[in-house]
Structure 1
């Protein structure tokens, strides 16, 4: 007994009730006798064949459907009838453009054929097969693309256990698939970076968010290179978290480039901070380790032709004993054919040995002790760069690569050359500065000695001239008509020379920090009137006028002698450059300030000279036409600033000049150790072309 579609095939479809039941089923039922005559056709088959059962019943199956006998369906029916077995066959019927499944079941009278349209099932199966084939092709293509990608790709499950890497990962890290899958991929990350990576992973998993993270990844040869990993979460159709898929790219050169730029920038800052070049070189080399190398040595050529190793920096503290010993092995000035620093000094060009193996060390050593020293350091790469400034080789900087797998590249050499250029400039500037300082010290010492030596004979000479002047008064004028005027001229020249010596002595005191102040109560109005009275005869002699506008009185605490010196310098300049025109001196008060202004209507000062006339030995005009050392205004500025005041000048060519001094009535304490230094500029007067120095305190 066999159940097919709920029907008992042992029953014959002869009764009307049974026939009606077969008409209701959703597939075809056909019965034939042993002579292949059709004895039953249900309604479903009528619709499929397009013929009624009345036309078919009693007719031979092969006669009604001639092509059926030679078809695969016919063969199945013949076999079922002949062998008495059930035969199931499935095939495509072109005339119906459909797939059918036929089940031929023997019965007592012949065969019952159950026919079912399986087109949709076959189509679904084919679509599934096609989809699976496309999926296989897509997966194959994806793997090919992934394996040929220039970046490392990977995928994890929800527990961040890696389930797949592309070929690039294995080629880069040297891991096998067994080593990399699961959590084994973490072993390839630098030990110092694993905690950071783990923290990023945990934070990202908790929120199912993408993440980037930079870390160092071990290569198959044991080196570590900087990489950037970026991952995106995988989410299932139901919204469940499936894990991450991501990529890893090699950013080592970019990272090293950034480090090199940052290093060069910081080294430049350090090298420009001080003119003590040995100290700045030491700081710069410490910065270079380990960014540029694991070991750095700086050797400078000395004036006598020798070499001084000024600094050795190293990354590994265990190398300190070797670092102390390395001073015994400086480069050889005469050159050595294979010793890199010696060659660089001789040839003045940068050199790099990427693979400094033992054979190189044997060639480079200039003694057995030197060879043993190099072997003990254990470097595997070396580069040396010359320090050249103004066409002259000043020294050499040498870098060693000691860390496992580290090798110097051309980019490293270029960075080292950049550092050496900047270091050479710092050394050259430092040496020039020290030479200039020495020259200034020699000059100042000379000026101080010369001033004292020259001033010493002036005192008795001045006394002798005074004595001669008194004697001349008793002599007949008609016999010596020019004697008095000649003596006056001689006394003036001695006084002028004495003033010049005083200026030089003041400069020496300022430079030595011995420019002291003796403070007392001073009536500024009276002081200015007295100074003007001393200058008035000379101004009148030149055809000018000296006008004074002062209040009664204006009292403050200052150094009387130094204030007299200020007024003398200002009035002297006004008389000298005034061209015989009027000179005005004015005194007034502004709150807690006492103010002095001296104005002339002479040649004026060019704008480009305004900012420098208060400096040492600076002049606004040629010394061929106007005498002096160019120290008066410099000393005036020092006095004013020592008293806590400011001095300003407003001028234009051929429009005269106005010098304005403003002093606090009570100046700040003045240290006897006060030394010359940079002075903060005060604010110039509004709308003027001028310069101011000092700071009111």
Structure 2
């Protein structure tokens, strides 16, 4: 979504432009130098639009009466004509100048000398004018003076362009963050609303699977149940992602679990039944109580083991090792096969990331991201190493007295 552009002469836009000029630290020195070099008593950087003349910065040695933010009626100034022609207007002495001696501007403001040089941004946008005035005559038409004004006007224009780019970048960043926030809200609501129809699909699958007298319906029911279960896991993954992105983080309910080993063995057994062709070596020995969110730890192991079965070499076993070491529950899952390239290793915990070799329909690429969030929510660490010698190994270390890390 794009925020509407402010009219150039709106109060907000003028305040922004004045702030941009005020942010150029050299402007006060530039205006003072102009007055010193020309002998003129008033110098200013003015924002000039189709309908307004606004002083952004001033050097007033003659009590001209304008301060930053002060405005002149545009038609009473020569800056409007400079803006129209995009050319400087330079007058040493109004009273003897054949072009401007009868002009209303010197009569209104009691001026004799005047110089106004356009400030144009590098992209061609007209910002305003660098100008100086005085009730006394001055030699402002000298080439060195004109050149000084042109150089200073170009410098100010380049600095303002830099500020403008920063505004644009910040606006784009704001819009992207706002869009991302709305997207995550939409995902969370959608995931929540999908649960009811998915429950209906699962219930119908269960009913069909009980029609033992009709084998075809039983097969359809089992497929519906399996599909519903897979969709439920995907929805859970998306909701976990959305909660993390919306600021509430991974939710955990940490309690003391006296004997966690059987629950972890059950996860391994379940995945082995679902993947009968894959060999799994396991060493699960936890002799002390562990403070954790049991369901989340089971989800962690399930995701890591499922990932190893999916992406590991089919001809090598997956190894699961779980033990308590130095007051930490250490859980590692290792698979063989092609190692992960070093330049890719840092991306594996990013949401939606999947290896280039992944088959279509292999999930959303959220499993490892969620693993990372689960471990972080327990105050632990999750790392990965991959080489031809050891294979690919994910290792989680969680304090046995884990507390909610504030996610």
TM-score, normalised to structure 1, is: 0.44
Q: Is the 8 A contact 1:447 1:508 kept in 2?
A: yes
Structure 2, unpaired ranges of 5+: 1-14, 32-42
Match of residue 500 from structure 1: 234
Match of residue 312 from structure 2: 578
Match of residue 324 from structure 1: 69
| Per-residue Cα deviation, 1:494-537 (whole angstroms, up to 9, x for no partner) | 11111111111112211222233212113553443232122111
Q: How does 1:239-258 map to 2 (within 5 A)?
A: none
Structure 1 residues 410 and 284: alpha-carbon distance in aligned structure 2, compared to 1, 3 A threshold: closer
Q: Is the 8 A contact 1:606 1:653 kept in 2?
A: no
Q: How does 1:4-153 map to 2 (within 5 A)?
A: none
- Say whether 1:644 aligns with 2:385: no
Q: How does 1:123-202 map to 2 (within 5 A)?
A: none
Aligned residue for 1:472, secondary structure, equals coil
Q: How does 1:131-530 map to 2 (within 5 A)?
A: 282=19, 285-288=22-25, 289-293=27-31, 295-296=44-45, 312-314=56-58, 322-326=67-71, 338-340=81-83, 380-386=115-121, 388=123, 396-398=126-128, 400=130, 408-469=148-209, 471-473=210-212, 475=213, 480-515=214-249, 516-522=251-257, 523-530=259-266
Structure with the bigger RCO (C-alpha within 8 Å, sep 6+) is 2
Structure 1 residues 313 and 413: alpha-carbon distance in aligned structure 2, compared to 1, 3 A threshold: closer
| Per-residue Cα deviation, 1:87-112 (whole angstroms, up to 9, x for no partner) | xxxxxxxxxxxxxxxxxxxxxxxxxx
Structure 1 residues 504 and 401: alpha-carbon distance in aligned structure 2, compared to 1, 3 A threshold: same
Equivalent of 2:347 in 600, 605, 612: 612
Match of residue 294 from structure 2: 560
Structure 1 residues 385 and 503: alpha-carbon distance in aligned structure 2, compared to 1, 3 A threshold: same
Deviation at 1:583, TM superposition (A): 1.1
Q: Is the 8 A contact 1:295 1:315 kept in 2?
A: yes
Aligned residue for 1:323, secondary structure, equals coil
Deviation at 1:661, TM superposition (A): 1.2
CA distance in 2: counterparts of 1:403 and 1:352, whole angstroms: 14
Aligned residue for 1:496, secondary structure, equals helix
Structure 1 residues 669 and 445: alpha-carbon distance in aligned structure 2, compared to 1, 3 A threshold: closer
TM-score, normalised to structure 2, is: 0.71
Structure 1 residues 463 and 499: alpha-carbon distance in aligned structure 2, compared to 1, 3 A threshold: same
Aligned residue for 1:594, secondary structure, equals strand
Aligned residue for 1:630, secondary structure, equals coil
| Per-residue Cα deviation, 1:158-177 (whole angstroms, up to 9, x for no partner) | xxxxxxxxxxxxxxxxxxxx
Structure 1 residues 327 and 595: alpha-carbon distance in aligned structure 2, compared to 1, 3 A threshold: farther
| Per-residue Cα deviation, 1:384-440 (whole angstroms, up to 9, x for no partner) | 12264xxxx6x5544635598996444324423432342233133223223322332
- Give the superposed CA RMSD: 4.2
Using the TM superposition, name which of 643-652 and 653-662 deviates more: 653-662
Deviation at 1:570, TM superposition (A): 1.0
Q: How many residues align?
A: 356
Aligned residue for 1:595, secondary structure, equals strand
Aligned residue for 2:23, secondary structure, equals helix
Larger radius of gyration, structure 1 or 2?
1
CA distance in 2: counterparts of 1:623 and 1:638, whole angstroms: 23
Q: Is the 8 A contact 2:260 2:286 kept in 1?
A: no
Deviation at 1:307, TM superposition (A): 10
